[in-house]
Amino acid sequence: MATVENRIAGSTVFAVLISVTVCHLINDTLQALMLAMYPILRDSYALTFGQIGMITLVFQVIASITQPLIGHFTDRKPLPYSLPVAPAFTLLGLVLLGLATSYEGILIAAAAVGIGSAIFHPEASRVARLASGGRYGMAQSLFQVGGNIGTSLGPLLAAWVILPRGQASVVWFGAIALAAIGILSGVGRWYSHHLRPKTTARPLPPVHHNLSSRTVGLSLLILLALMFSKFVYTSAFSSFYTFYLIDHFRVPVKDAQIYLFVYLGAFAIGTFAGGPIGDRIGRKAVIWFSILGALPFTLALPFANLFWTVVLTVPIGLILASAFSAMVVYAQELLPGRVGMISGLFFGTAFGIAGLSAVPLGYLADHTSITFVFQLCSVLPAIGLLTIFLPGAERMKAA
């Protein structure tokens, strides 16, 4: 029996792929706004670095726990019309954040944004794969780059709109959440049309390789370890880079947001490169380069002046970002038929690692310095050496 992917393969449905990519951009722009508001929230509520880390923890961990569960469930019972529910929760979080008058209110708003991300990522990632026409790396990268562009826009919007107008102005961005609800309603109809004949219970598609379950399990653990190195480092950037610039170099808040945009913009470009290159030269080669290749630059950054700090964030963002799409598609090939579970697991793990690491990094910064935190995190890409134990393309094909 042909799967939905087989029936669609052969022609990339670009309208659908672009739609989920645009909505990923919107989703991650809105959640980045919350992260970019940290300097404003710190000054308004006299927050410590530990409390700022707790905001990230609430947002990321709720998304982390929920996403794999949603992905596992929707592998068996797809929920096409759950897609527009995601930006509805994000809209709720923005409204709550704009109206919050206490630290507890900020945490509740962060939780709502986390739920929105948890609902969005597994099903939207599956739709991107369905619409890929078999070009899975390209589709996953395009989907991911939408999110990374959105993440990079957050600091700019915070600097240009929220910083001069105050916390309540974040509510204005609810308009683009409403646009995402409309777009995803249309994507849901397309998705439902293609799934309708297949929504009854059926066996999972057959596994396309003969790798042992032990090898598959070990490979997944290695991928998760690599994600740990990547996302603890990127968590330090997303949560504390602006504070590093403000405290270490005494730059104004607005300039710090622009420098954060430089890093996030490079990250977005790197994301798009990883998937298509992986389609051509193999996922493992991309994973090798995208983790270990960043190490010389991360080691140099804590000792650089302001100019070279900004310059170094460009190769760091470009190289680190290329990993995620390759890792997701590699994992999907290890466990065919479990697209939703793998997408939920990897997006959820990314959120969870970022959230769980933000609190100890924040408290460590409180008790040492923000510079020490960046020095400590600079060695994390060395974990990329574990890539040597992943099965290569030749071994998977031979199996």
In 3D, which of 153, 379, 372, 355 has the Cα closest to residue 247? Answer: 372
- What is the reported pLDDT for 351? 65
Residues composing the chain: 399
- CA 176/CA 157 separation, integer angstroms: 13
Burial 285-314 (b: 16+ CB within 10 A, else e): bbbbbbbbbbbebbeebbeeeeeebbebbb
Is residue 101 one of the residues assigned to a domain? yes
Question: Which CATH number fits the domain that encloses residue 91?
Answer: 1.20.1250.20
Tally of structural domains, the chain? 1
- CA 256/CA 22 separation, integer angstroms: 26
As a whole number of Å, the CA-based R_g of the chain is: 20
Percent of the chain past pLDDT 90, that is, above it, reads 33
Is residue 2 one of the residues assigned to a domain? no
Residue type, 349: T
pLDDT above 70 for 191:
yes
Residue 237 banded pLDDT, cuts 50, 70, 90: confident
- Token pair 């949560």 is found at 239
Query: pLDDT digits over 8-54, tens only?
Result: 444 558 889 999 999 999 998 998 888 888 888 988 899 998 898 89
In 3D, which of 265, 385, 394 has the Cα closest to residue 321? Answer: 265
Q: Are 21 and 195 in contact (CB under 8 A)?
A: no
Residue 155 structural domain: 10-398
Is residue 3 one of the residues assigned to a domain? no
Residue type, 86: A
Query: pLDDT digits over 102-149, tens only?
Result: 999 999 999 999 899 888 988 888 888 888 877 777 787 788 788 878
Query: pLDDT digits over 326-376, tens only?
Result: 787 788 788 877 776 776 677 667 667 766 788 889 899 999 999 999 999
Is residue 280 one of the residues assigned to a domain? yes
Q: What is the number of other CB atoms lying within 10 angstroms of the CB of residue 333? A: 16
Query: pLDDT digits over 303-333, tens only?
Result: 999 999 999 999 999 888 877 777 877 887 8
Is residue 275 one of the residues assigned to a domain? yes
Is residue 1 one of the residues assigned to a domain? no
Residue type, 156: L
In 3D, which of 291, 164, 268 has the Cα closest to residue 222? Answer: 291
Tokens of 235: 């968590």
Q: What DSSP string describes 166-191?
A: -GGGGGGGHHHHHHHHHHHHHHHHHH
Is residue 5 one of the residues assigned to a domain? no
- What is the reported pLDDT for 304? 96
Verdict on whether the full-model pTM lies above 0.75? no
Is residue 219 one of the residues assigned to a domain? yes
Residue 274 banded pLDDT, cuts 50, 70, 90: low
- What is the reported pLDDT for 291? 77
- Token pair 């080691």 is found at 299
Q: Which residue has the higher pLDDT, 196 or 137?
A: 137
- CA 284/CA 7 separation, integer angstroms: 28
As a whole number, the mean pLDDT across the chain is 83
| Alpha helices (H) in 295-338, listed in sequence order | 295-300, 306-334
